[in-house]
Structure 1
Amino acid sequence: MIPASNAALANLEAASAPYRVYRAILEGLYRGKYVAGQRLVEADLVREFKVARGSIREGLNRLAAEGVVTLSFNRGAQIRLLTRAEAMDILAVGEALIALAARLAAGKIMVADNRKVLRESFDRLLAFKAAGDSFEFARARNAFYRALVHIGGNRELARLVPGVQINLIRTQFRDYQSRDARLHDFQLIADAVSQGSAPKAALAVRRHFKSVLAAIAELPDDVFAPEH
């Protein structure tokens, strides 16, 4: 049997009912339809998505595996609400991995069409500068990070970065983040990588994450889950 291509497998997954449930809930988080701490009732989701309970459970299991929802026997599924410490931990890991990705990308920016890949990923971010669609902006930001990882060429990093639960940071605290400030940070990262300066690229990433950490540190306790 001839194995299916990666693109074909991706298309099959995108057409599956569990994936549609997974994607719709994640998109709903960015659009404000779902909020951190909200319970997700299976019966309601079945009616909304018009799919079988098995597909709902598969979609929720994928979200749980990514840390977006929590599953419990008594309470069912619930959008995860981060504690302050959990948010800080996620950002610390994200900073380390993306700084490494930027450093590696800067070292390989002159290889093949890597400069074009970087420019296109950043241009996609700029296209959403004035747009109000936070989900599409988040997708563009994810694509920018993926471009850095792709250019750097480290396969282990490509495996690790998607596992960092940045989605929760972006959705739980979206009302406290300035898009213009983030775009300025991404511009500095892209410029440093394009110049081939690994130290400057890593520093630009660290400064970006430090600014996010500082903003979250100043938030009131009631936007976080209670510490365990």
Structure 2
Amino acid sequence: MEAGLEFEPAGTARKVVLGILAGLDERQLVPGQRLAETDLALRYDVGRNAVREAMQHLSVRGIIELEANRSPSIRKLDLAESMEVLDVAEAMTALAARTAAGRYVERLHAKLLRDVLQRLDMAAADREEGAFNAARRQFYRVLLRIGDNRELRRLFPSVGMHIIHVQYSMPELQKVRRRDYADMAAAVMKKDAALAEAVARRHVDNVRGAIADWHARRSDGHMGAR
């Protein structure tokens, strides 16, 4: 089983969780959208209890917001919330990269890293955003698998980065991720824990800067329209 997936719910609730994640990757679902329980049950051919279990799980992961007497909605972040998510993500990503570098074994892990980097390059070349997002998640699963820290594997999906990636789907960020993931993988394969951590922190800082610039452009555009 892939690292991190063992913490997904079992049975039909898992079907809903994976379906919603795929829907976000493919832009069939968007931040701020409300999700009616009946519609989800019909879409995924499951009972309402499975939908409720899936919503609870996705809420813990920071993907869904639950509100009393209202349908759950896909989380939408403002700039301050985005920066808070990235602050936590920086620490977690740095730990994941550092741990992977410390436990890397070439005969066990080299192919895993090379394969996922190739998958990222192919998805980018084909301009398949959904495939790229799936490969991005797989990259982190590989790091978590190499690092083999069960507590980190349990906590990592709850950081809320999935919504960051969905909400800020800028072409320049995909280029940043391809470059930084390759650098991170190279540091892990060198077994250089300090370098791996530094590259991971730099990557999150690059994402942080791109998101801040995006919000600044939107703010300038709104001011100019007045």
TM-score, normalised relative to structure 1: 0.82
Mapped partners of 1:50, 1:78: distance in 2: 20
Residue 128 of structure 2: aligned partner? 133
Instruction: Write the deviation string for residues 100-126 of structure 1: whole angstroms up to 9, x where unpaired.
Output: 221222223246513333223323322
Residue 203 of structure 1: aligned partner? 198
Q: CA RMSD in A?
A: 2.7
- SS at 2:96 equivalent: helix
Conservation of the 8 A alpha-carbon contact between 1:102 and 1:201: yes
Mapped partners of 2:202, 2:30: distance in 1: 28
- SS at 2:29 equivalent: coil
Unaligned runs of 5+ in 1: 224-228
Which structure dedicates a bigger proportion of its chain to helix?
2
- In structure 2, the CA distance between the partners of 1:94 and 1:73, relative to structure 1 (3 Å rule), is same
Conservation of the 8 A alpha-carbon contact between 1:108 and 1:114: no
- In structure 2, the CA distance between the partners of 1:63 and 1:155, relative to structure 1 (3 Å rule), is closer
Deviation at 1:187, TM superposition (A): 1.1
Mapped partners of 1:100, 1:34: distance in 2: 31
Deviation at 1:74, TM superposition (A): 2.2
Residue 167 of structure 1: aligned partner? 162
- In structure 2, the CA distance between the partners of 1:110 and 1:25, relative to structure 1 (3 Å rule), is closer
The alignment status of 1:65 with 2:60, answered yes or no, reads: yes
Mapped partners of 1:197, 1:141: distance in 2: 22
Mapped partners of 2:152, 2:14: distance in 1: 24
**Following superposition, which runs of at least 4 residues in structure 1 exceed 4 angstroms of deviation?**
none
Instruction: Write the deviation string for residues 31-80 of structure 1: whole angstroms up to 9, x where unpaired.
Output: 11111111112232233333332222222222222221111222221111
Mapped partners of 2:122, 2:111: distance in 1: 16
The alignment status of 1:107 with 2:102, answered yes or no, reads: yes
Instruction: Write the deviation string for residues 158-213 of structure 1: whole angstroms up to 9, x where unpaired.
Output: 22212211111011111364322210111111112112222221111111111100
Unaligned runs of 5+ in 2: 220-226
The alignment status of 1:122 with 2:120, answered yes or no, reads: no
Counterpart selection for 1:26 from 21, 32, 38 = 21
- SS at 1:204 equivalent: helix
- Overall identity of the aligned pairs, in %: 38
Mapped partners of 1:95, 1:167: distance in 2: 14
Counterpart selection for 1:93 from 88, 96, 111 = 88
Mapped partners of 1:46, 1:110: distance in 2: 44
Residue 194 of structure 1: aligned partner? 189
